[in-house]
A and B are shown apart, each in its own frame.
Chain A
């Protein structure tokens, strides 16, 4: 191509430059971190490390001594080249049950990634939440080299070995049928209340991260990286589940002293507080961490991390993030603080002195969105290109919601340490419930999760969206291994359907009854292992067994909600809530034409009035009767409200107990315009709501959807025509 004249040359240059600038600007706007705001600069000064792992007694809330069951002392060395951790763990465990035990089950969670035929991999088939198993670091494992008994006895102080140290005895141990579990056999049983100290040597090989734990380049996320003891129930039976795809983790509370030997350049974030850091030597450094009254210890390391600190009251908040995403830190902090404010008020004090937020890099997506005591991993905030933002697209799911959700787990599972394998809904579902309450506390009851222009996708839509066919496959109260990957039912049922059932209850009985009851459960079961029965029992005690709902009823009899029956249906069946407006019409009111006996007993004929032949729409209102028939289509029986609108612009609401298959409502002498089921959207468990609002045909309004859909279709067609025409 030859530009012959200076003008042509200039034009060509301008054209090329314009195109290049436009593209560079678009990309820069889409991908670059927002400029570091003054807020970050003010956060970047280091907040001093807390001196205690727990907050002061007046701020931490109740920490029952009986909850302290097992301590871990870990010494570990990270080989960042081989992505291995070699270490020892000393487990000091007190028998909290009333029966002696002669074996100790150990979780070797990392072995789930050891081969294709582990229970976890058989179900996962090489992927987890959209992340695929790596090609280079395909496998992970935990190899226990030795198990020794080094002490036992009656001890008050778990960390003092002197009172319990005895002869070192090599212990027999064996992997179970699935390698994620192993059993250590004790030479003599551990009596109730007795303490035993066991030491293990282990080598953990990290996989390339795709399921929470592993590495991606220089980034290392160490979760479930050491052998962990199972939980002995009050009945004397061990709870130690095979690690399957949907099962998470379950352990007892105790203290951790962890010594990490890592490459000098690594920036480390861990559970608890750092109590010491030795000066680097020969390219490595040693860090000492302490955590108290936690049931797990996780850590992350990446030499590229920058640290952004903040405080919330006396709690130190530490974010570790790669420089190109540091601009997101203020938004995550904002979300975290909103969550802390809401959850402390609703569920009691956050007891620990620190929170660490890890922002895994983009190529470690498998590590995003996971909770550990006092530490969680969040996810990136999606950045939309400028041309997408023109459409008014906003969302709070990416990044922000992850932070809300993962912090929420500090309570539901971190403090209320339910068995995630036996009842995954008890932490995930209650946490989702709390997340919705946080959003409402933060942004109001009509908080949106995503928005397009004027229209939002709110909490109600988010929860109802889960009530599709997958959510009808398994009852909420199912074990983790019941949910099969191929059905896709786990997420919708355990998270959102549980949130829907809890918030439906809240809206039916009212926040004034529900919120204190939920709080009572959270306070009663912190630092304990609640079950679903414990939750239901607490709510029944606090809310009441039978709650009389406010509202006028058809027959003036009160409508009561049976809480036990509600939970029985919601947790243990797949019955759905679904009401339908079967009939909405005005009909001719019956008159008194015909033969009647007068006071003398004589039959007299009353002629029908002339009105009888006129169309209903032309009759006066007193000659008309409004009729609505509400049908319960779903098998879930729950009270429901009906709102009717009359032609004189008045409205009326009536409550129906929802027990029968249908209910007929009539209003003699009134002309109906429209009827609506559940006008206040209390029944979040009802996914099918298109049939909840209906008008009488003579007043038929627009359906409300065909116009906007048609308008959008017309605009799309015009865009295509315009784009392709001429």
Chain B
């Protein structure tokens, strides 16, 4: 709850990050819409029953639409990888407690390289452990699914913790030791892993919900707005997970009790 309170007390942080994501996604969708509009020319498609047939025909006659969609997705992924660490520093700084905008901006800039590198460590580790999960899948697919769930949550929490330590404790961001320490801490603190893992699961659930709503509500007026709403909620939950790491660091760096 304390972690949740940290996020709740920083509404502009949450809204700022959420709106940035919405703006980015909307921007990446502009060329995609333009490509489809250009491919359609002066013609139009109406009728719910026609949508998939028309899409199939469009893609078959205009493969550029597929390329545009892939480019939008790839662009989103690349930008997420690059931009998320930018916000991480400011977010951690703010979640640690109220501070001036200038401090947040400085945290963004100062800690961006470390946040980026730690993110890359996390990505590498996920990739490596994915091979392990794949190998377990040859034994039994249940093992594979369980391994994936544990790996993703474990690494995500470790990335959060490492970044928090860099920003709040001045740990050496670029050195892999910081990330390794974070891994060990998470492994030795199952409560943190569990808490953050559950929040992370909620976040993935919201990500899946975005897609489900988008697909089920395809070609309706309400579904894009519902998706955007869920995306804002997902940004909140992502900050909550980060706040859990901030809370852990804050709790474990309390001064020791005076001797009796």
A interface residue numbers (CB < 8 A to B): 1-4, 7-9, 11-12, 14-16, 19-20, 22-24, 26-27, 387, 390-392, 446, 452-458, 460-461, 464-465, 468, 581, 584, 674, 687-695, 697, 700-726
Partner of A20, one of B42, B142, B189: B142
User: How extensive is the interface on chain B, given as a class?
Assistant: 35 or more
Q: Which residues of A contact B80 (CB under 8 A)?
A: 720-721, 723-725
Q: Across the interface, do B210 and A715 meet the contact criterion of CB distance under 8 Å?
A: yes
Partner of A702, one of B44, B69, B141: B44
Nearest-CB residue, chain A, relative to B228 = A718
Give CA–CA (A391, B45) in the complex, Å. 23
Q: Across the interface, do B203 and A456 meet the contact criterion of CB distance under 8 Å?
A: no
Give CA–CA (A701, B210) in the complex, Å. 28
Q: Across the interface, do A690 and B57 meet the contact criterion of CB distance under 8 Å?
A: yes
Q: Across the interface, do B219 and A708 meet the contact criterion of CB distance under 8 Å?
A: yes
Q: Which residues of A contact B217 (CB under 8 A)?
A: 453-454
Q: Across the interface, do A719 and B211 meet the contact criterion of CB distance under 8 Å?
A: yes
Q: Assuming the A-B contacts A709-B32, A721-B80, are A716 and B193 also in contact, with contact meaning beta carbons closer than 8 angstroms in the complex? A: no
Decide if B22 is an interface residue (CB 8 Å cutoff): yes
19 contacts between A and B (CB under 8 A): A7-B191, A11-B190, A391-B211, A391-B215, A454-B219, A581-B43, A690-B57, A691-B41, A703-B40, A705-B58, A707-B33, A713-B33, A717-B24, A718-B231, A722-B203, A722-B235, A725-B17, A725-B80, A726-B239
Q: Assuming the A-B contacts A8-B190, A714-B25, are A719 and B61 also in contact, with contact meaning beta carbons closer than 8 angstroms in the complex? A: no
Give CA–CA (A1, B154) in the complex, Å. 13
Q: Which residues of A contact B235 (CB under 8 A)?
A: 722, 725
Q: Across the interface, do A455 and B190 meet the contact criterion of CB distance under 8 Å?
A: no
Give CA–CA (A717, B76) in the complex, Å. 5
Partner of B215, one of A446, A452, A687, A721: A452
Decide if B91 is an interface residue (CB 8 Å cutoff): yes
Tell me the residues in window 199-249 of chain B with beta carbons closer than 8 Å to chain A beta carbons: 203-204, 206-208, 210-220, 223-224, 227-228, 231, 234-235, 238-239, 241-242
Q: Across the interface, do B56 and A724 meet the contact criterion of CB distance under 8 Å?
A: no
Q: Which residues of A contact B187 (CB under 8 A)?
A: 1
Give CA–CA (A710, B189) in the complex, Å. 43
Among listed B99-107, B143-151, B166-174, B251-259, interface-contacting one: B143-151
Give CA–CA (A713, B33) in the complex, Å. 9
Give CA–CA (A705, B43) in the complex, Å. 10
Partner of A8, one of B72, B189, B210: B189
Decide if B110 is an interface residue (CB 8 Å cutoff): no
Nearest-CB residue, chain B, relative to A708 = B219
Q: Across the interface, do B32 and A703 meet the contact criterion of CB distance under 8 Å?
A: no
Q: Assuming the A-B contacts A690-B61, A726-B242, are A707 and B91 also in contact, with contact meaning beta carbons closer than 8 angstroms in the complex? A: no
Nearest-CB residue, chain A, relative to B215 = A391
Q: Assuming the A-B contacts A720-B76, A722-B21, are A461 and B214 also in contact, with contact meaning beta carbons closer than 8 angstroms in the complex? A: no
Give CA–CA (A314, B249) in the complex, Å. 77
Number of CB contacts from chain A to chain B under 8 A: 267
* Proximity string of chain B (4-23) to chain A, C-beta cutoff 8 Å, 1 when within and 0 when not: 00000000000001000110
Partner of B21, one of A707, A708, A718: A718
B interface residue numbers (CB < 8 A to A): 17, 21-22, 24-26, 28-30, 32-34, 36-37, 40-46, 48-49, 51-58, 60-61, 65, 69, 72-73, 75-77, 79-81, 83-84, 87-88, 91, 141-146, 149-150, 160, 187-191, 193-194, 197, 203-204, 206-208, 210-220, 223-224, 227-228, 231, 234-235, 238-239, 241-242
Closest Cβ of chain A to B235, distance in Å, is 7
Partner of A710, one of B33, B211, B238: B33
Q: Across the interface, do B72 and A713 meet the contact criterion of CB distance under 8 Å?
A: yes
Closest Cβ of chain B to A173, distance in Å, is 51
Q: Across the interface, do B219 and A715 meet the contact criterion of CB distance under 8 Å?
A: no
Q: Which residues of B contact A723 (CB under 8 A)?
A: 80, 204, 207
Give CA–CA (A437, B106) in the complex, Å. 69
Q: Across the interface, do B210 and A722 meet the contact criterion of CB distance under 8 Å?
A: yes
Q: Which residues of A contact B40 (CB under 8 A)?
A: 690, 703-706
Give CA–CA (A11, B210) in the complex, Å. 30
Q: Which residues of A contact B160 (CB under 8 A)?
A: 726
Q: Which residues of B contact A456 (CB under 8 A)?
A: 49, 52
Nearest-CB residue, chain A, relative to B187 = A1
Nearest-CB residue, chain B, relative to A4 = B188
Partner of B43, one of A1, A4, A693: A693
Partner of A690, one of B45, B72, B73, B197: B45
Q: Which residues of A contact B77 (CB under 8 A)?
A: 720, 724
Q: Across the interface, do B142 and A690 meet the contact criterion of CB distance under 8 Å?
A: no
Q: Which residues of A contact B24 (CB under 8 A)?
A: 717, 721
Q: Across the interface, do B43 and A703 meet the contact criterion of CB distance under 8 Å?
A: yes
Q: Which residues of A contact B231 (CB under 8 A)?
A: 718, 721-722
Q: Across the interface, do B223 and A23 meet the contact criterion of CB distance under 8 Å?
A: no
